Amino acid sequence: MDIIPGLADVPVAHTKICLLDGKNGKLIYRGYDVEELFEKSNYLETAYLLIFGDLPSKAEYENFKKDIKLHTRLKFRIIDVMKNFPEKAHPIEVLQSVVSCLGMFYKKENVLNIDYQYLSIVKLLAKIPLIIANWNRIRNGDNPLEPNPDFDYVENFLYMYFGQKPTKEKVEILEKCLILHAEHSMNASTFAAIVVGSTLADPFTVISSAIGALSGPLHGGANEDVIKMFKEIESLQNVKKYIDEKLESKKKIPGFGHRVYKTYDPRAKLLKKILENLEIKDKELRNLYSIAQEVEKYVLEKLSHKGVYPNVDFYSGLVYKYIGFDEDMYTSLFALARVSGWLAHWKEYITDNKLIRPTEIYIGEVNKKYNDRKV
């Protein structure tokens, strides 16, 4: 038996959800090019597409929105738990913990029951934005805001997070970001979701596990590292020296390279398009964006021949910073988007479920004797 490190290129399931064309830089959701969804759809419509198989009719979409609004609330005991977390807790740790707690407040049912699946999907989509927004206010000493019933999904999230009605521009930008981050085939967090899902664990446990996998710096946490890199570089004059030192020491450059894409990540291309169309007034953000452009140019000179291009993390943090989010929130925003992809794969996998139980090759000692141990 051969070991495939990291299970690279080892298929573990059939899927109708997502196609990654790494050679041509294409990302397809249920047959739709992500670029078309980016231009024409919104996050909830795209989430419905991923989870249920096709774009909703007008009636299906309105019912989906209505059901989510109905569950856009958190029990006071959950909020009390959050108020007892340390203020310096990372938002993604809070999100994972609270999603896990949610499962204790709802009756466990057969996860193969379609009605239970739908209700759980609606609750998770409704409550994850609340958890993120509430934690931002709680850690800053403020009480959470009640959702506004007149606002749509993304608008409501921004309102509860920042405490004021968001501009139309920022709502539209976040809608597009969430679409781009909603799904990406069998990545580490999605695999974590189906591993746990294959045990027929409840969906709150499944999503909590996926969030845990996303939190690592080699997955969802990478977008925070990109902004840190731009800040460490400080100015355009330092770009080449900084990148050369990284390359000489054979260190990874945050925001570059991908296990699947050997050309420009289509999500990075669309995030870059967002930034190109913005009027950036903030001096710090303008400087960071200029540094990003120079970093991209220089790294491509050095590494594009090896198939190393910007990935989704390279520009996403700059877009989030424009909206006004703190840097430690970026991974939670990734989770806010990706929950729809996780739920889609969970729902698809357990339809024809098989417990995931790989094996390993033992290379340790045998025939050791208890009495021969060191005294």
Q: Computed from CA positions of residues 343, 349, 352, 356, in that sequence, does the dihedral angle turn out positive or negative?
A: negative
Indicate whether 282 pLDDT > 90: yes
From the candidates 184, 258, 265, 345, give the one annotated as an active-site residue.
258
Which amino acid is residue 96, in one-letter code? Q
pLDDT of residue 357: 94
Percentage with pLDDT > 90 across the chain: 88
| Mean predicted lDDT score pLDDT of the chain | 95
pLDDT of residue 68: 98
pLDDT of residue 336: 98
With cut-offs at 50, 70 and 90, classify the pLDDT of residue 1.
confident
pLDDT of residue 8: 85
Contact 177, 312 (CB under 8 A): no
pLDDT of residue 219: 84
| Residue ranges of domains in the chain, CATH in brackets | 14-216+330-351 (1.10.580.10), 222-323 (1.10.230.10)
pLDDT of residue 257: 86
From the candidates 313, 326, 328, 352, give the one annotated as an active-site residue.
313
pLDDT of residue 2: 84
250 alpha carbon, distance to own chain's centre? 27
With cut-offs at 50, 70 and 90, classify the pLDDT of residue 258.
confident
Tell me whether residue 214 is exposed, middle or buried, using C-beta atoms within 10 angstroms of its C-beta: 0 to 12, 13 to 18, 19 or more.
buried
Question: Any long-range contacts for 238-244 (C-beta under 8 Å, 24+ apart)?
Answer: 239/291, 239/294, 239/295, 239/298, 240/298, 243/295, 243/298, 243/299, 243/302
pLDDT tens digits, 310-366: 999 999 999 999 999 999 999 999 999 999 999 999 999 999 999 999 999 999 999
Which amino acid is residue 8, in one-letter code? A
**Active-site residue, 313 included:** yes
pLDDT of residue 22: 87
Look at 118-127, 201-210, 258-267, 272-281 and tell me which has the smallest mean pLDDT: 258-267
Residue 117, token pair as written in the block: 């699946």
Look at 45-49, 201-205, 278-282 and tell me which has the smallest mean pLDDT: 278-282
Residue count of the chain, please give it: 375
Indicate whether 222 pLDDT > 90: no
Q: Which of 190, 216, 176, 153 is nearest to 18 (CA)?
A: 190
**Active-site residue, 352 included:** no
